């Protein structure tokens, strides 16, 4: 397998030399400075590739191997094949990437909001911090800050009462922080930052779209883009919903094995693949990650390895990479077996997220992507892989 590292570009606090020191050689990057829906040009992609791959003297070479992500425009999610201009623009961006010999593209199909948390620096017993999704804080946001119409029906009386107690303890700073974390687009997000009124307007635009319709629109999008992806030799990898369940009354269609199977049945193209994110999928107790890795192995072209720890009320937090609710040894063993079938060193993976710890506690970091926590995670994952390689 190929050790990769997500890099957010020239302004990332983690420099390219830091990635070299971590031991990764494949870079996961995107043109994050461009607004979602902007069509990428070959010139823009080539300039970023040149920045990444121009190796200073006596330095380890790096390769921009994966694009994460080319954002899927909002109207594609709402209109499917009807968003013809946006789909054609997405294909143009894919062509620009492929022209620069980058052949793996990650994307997601989450409507309105991308990955969602309520806390970016929840303190752990070690003194390090992690990202967390707190069910009561999220419910307080929905019920009393966003005030989504009809939201009460999605919560039990007990959940609403806990949320009210949580909200009553909020200061204005707490409200502002929670709104920023949920609505303002986390790093790497493929959706636009939202104000509370804008958030409500976006939700209203999806009022008539259920899971069946959203899944249909995803299939129509892929039916339009995969023929060109096949011609270009590009593998498209759909990232799971994060968290893998409906939020804000919106449907989610990449949360379970059944979701992915339905997608592959609808669009059987070899270009239609999966980004296997253990942290996102692991939030659901009914997702058997080892079985999914084995079943979908031929479709897995990119891997995010991290672990989450579930709590009884639906909360979860980012655990150490080898702890939490993910059988990381079993998952890596399944992925390693597939990688060997392909000849070895074919499946890129990256240590996804990481605790904020040591010196990073006192520095400006990208939430979820502090250097030291990911370095620790990569070291742990590398140890498993060496053991699997030796003893299987």
Residues 6+ apart with CB under 8 A from 55: 61, 62
Residues 6+ apart with CB under 8 A from 60: 20, 25
| pLDDT bracket for residue 185 (50, 70, 90) | low
Q: Please tell me what DSSP assigns to residue 12.
A: -
Whole-number average pLDDT of the chain: 96
| Structure-model confidence comparison of residues 192 and 234, the more confident one | 234
The alpha carbon torsion through 123, 168, 178, 281 (nearest 10 deg) reads 70
Residue 343 maps to a domain: yes
pLDDT digits (tens, 9 = 90+) for 278-305: 999 999 999 999 999 999 999 999 999 9
pLDDT digits (tens, 9 = 90+) for 157-182: 999 999 999 999 999 999 999 999 99
Enumerate the β-bridge partners of residue 365.
none
Q: Please tell me what DSSP assigns to residue 299.
A: G
**Average pLDDT of the residues in 36-40:** 94
Would the pLDDT of 206 be above 80?
yes
The confidence score (pLDDT) of residue 189 equals 67
Residue 368 maps to a domain: yes
Would the pLDDT of 343 be above 70?
yes
Whole-number percent of the chain with pLDDT over 90? 95
Would the pLDDT of 186 be above 90?
no
Enumerate the β-bridge partners of residue 309.
317
pLDDT digits (tens, 9 = 90+) for 27-36: 999 999 999 8
Q: For residue 352, give the H/E element and its range.
A: none
Residue 145 maps to a domain: no
Say which residue the tokens 């390693």 belong to. Answer: 336
Residue 279 is part of which domain span? 2-117+201-391
One-character DSSP codes across 128-161: -EEEEE-HHHHHHIIIIII--TTGGGGS-HHHHH
Q: Residues with catalytic annotation?
A: 239, 277, 304, 352-353, 369
CB atoms within 10 A of CB 101: 11
Degrees to nearest 5, angle at CA 306 with 275 and 358: 135
Say which residue the tokens 């990232």 belong to. Answer: 239
The confidence score (pLDDT) of residue 184 equals 79
| pLDDT bracket for residue 237 (50, 70, 90) | very high
**Average pLDDT of the residues in 244-260:** 97
| The pair of three-digit structure tokens given for residue 292, joined into one six-digit string | 């999914």
Q: What is the total count of domains within the chain? A: 1
Residue 97 maps to a domain: yes
Residue 320 maps to a domain: yes
Would the pLDDT of 263 be above 90?
yes
Residue 187 maps to a domain: no
Residues 6+ apart with CB under 8 A from 53: 61, 62, 63, 64
Best CA proximity match to 121, nearest among 360, 381, 372: 360
Residue 169 maps to a domain: no
Would the pLDDT of 64 be above 90?
yes
Best CA proximity match to 93, nearest among 76, 72, 111, 62: 72
The confidence score (pLDDT) of residue 191 equals 75
Q: Please tell me what DSSP assigns to residue 260.
A: H
The confidence score (pLDDT) of residue 298 equals 97
| The pair of three-digit structure tokens given for residue 4, joined into one six-digit string | 């990769």
Best CA proximity match to 73, nearest among 88, 54, 58, 53: 88
The alpha carbon torsion through 117, 123, 125, 127 (nearest 10 deg) reads 130
CA–chain centroid gap for 36, Å, is 15
Distance CA 53, CA 237 (A): 23
Residue 138 maps to a domain: no
Distance CA 72, CA 253 (A): 15
The CATH code of the domain that includes 67 is 3.20.20.150
pLDDT digits (tens, 9 = 90+) for 345-372: 999 999 999 999 999 999 999 999 999 9
Whole-number percent of the chain with pLDDT over 70? 98
pLDDT digits (tens, 9 = 90+) for 297-333: 999 999 999 999 999 999 999 999 999 999 999 999 9
| pLDDT bracket for residue 194 (50, 70, 90) | confident
């Amino acid at each position: 397998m190929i050790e990769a590292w997500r890099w957010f570009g020239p302004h990332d606090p983690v420099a390219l030399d830091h990635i070299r020191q971590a031991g990764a050689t494949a870079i996961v990057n995107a043109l994050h400075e461009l607004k979602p829906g902007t069509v990428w040009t070959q010139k823009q992609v080539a300039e970023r590739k040149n920045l990444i791959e121009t190796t200073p003297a006596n330095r380890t070479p790096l390769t921009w191997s994966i694009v994460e992500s080319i954002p899927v425009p909002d109207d594609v999610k709402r209109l499917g094949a009807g968003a013809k201009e946006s789909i054609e623009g997405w294909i143009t961006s894919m062509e620009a990437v492929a022209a620069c010999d980058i052949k793996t593209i990650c994307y997601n199909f989450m409507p309105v909001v991308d990955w969602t948390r309520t806390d970016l620096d929840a303190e752990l017993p070690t003194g390090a911090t992690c990202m967390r999704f707190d069910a009561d804080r999220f419910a307080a946001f929905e019920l009393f800050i966003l005030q989504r119409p009809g939201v009460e029906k999605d919560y039990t009386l007990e959940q609403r009462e806990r949320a009210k107690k949580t909200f009553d303890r909020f200061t204005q700073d707490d409200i502002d922080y929670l709104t920023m974390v949920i609505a303002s687009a986390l790093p790497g997000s493929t959706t636009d930052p939202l104000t509370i009124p804008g958030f409500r307007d976006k939700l209203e635009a999806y009022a008539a779209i259920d899971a069946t319709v959203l899944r249909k629109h995803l299939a129509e999008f892929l039916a339009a883009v995969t023929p060109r992806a096949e011609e270009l030799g590009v593998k498209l990898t759909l990232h799971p919903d994060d968290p893998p369940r409906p939020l804000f009354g919106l449907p989610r269609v990449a949360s379970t094995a059944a979701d992915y199977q339905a997608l592959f049945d609808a669009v059987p193209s070899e270009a239609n693949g999966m980004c296997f994110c253990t942290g996102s999928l692991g939030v659901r107790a009914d997702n058997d990650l080892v079985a999914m890795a084995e079943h979908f192995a031929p479709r897995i072209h990119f891997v995010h390895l991290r672990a989450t720890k579930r709590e009884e009320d639906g909360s979860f937090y980012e655990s150490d990479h080898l702890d939490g609710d993910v059988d990381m040894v079993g998952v890596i063993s399944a992925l390693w077996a597939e990688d060997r079938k392909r000849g070895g060193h074919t499946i890129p993976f990256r240590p996804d997220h990481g605790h904020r710890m040591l010196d990073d506690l006192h520095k400006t970091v990208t939430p979820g992507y502090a250097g030291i926590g990911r370095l620790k995670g990569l070291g742990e994952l590398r140890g498993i892989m060496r053991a699997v390689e030796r003893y299987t």
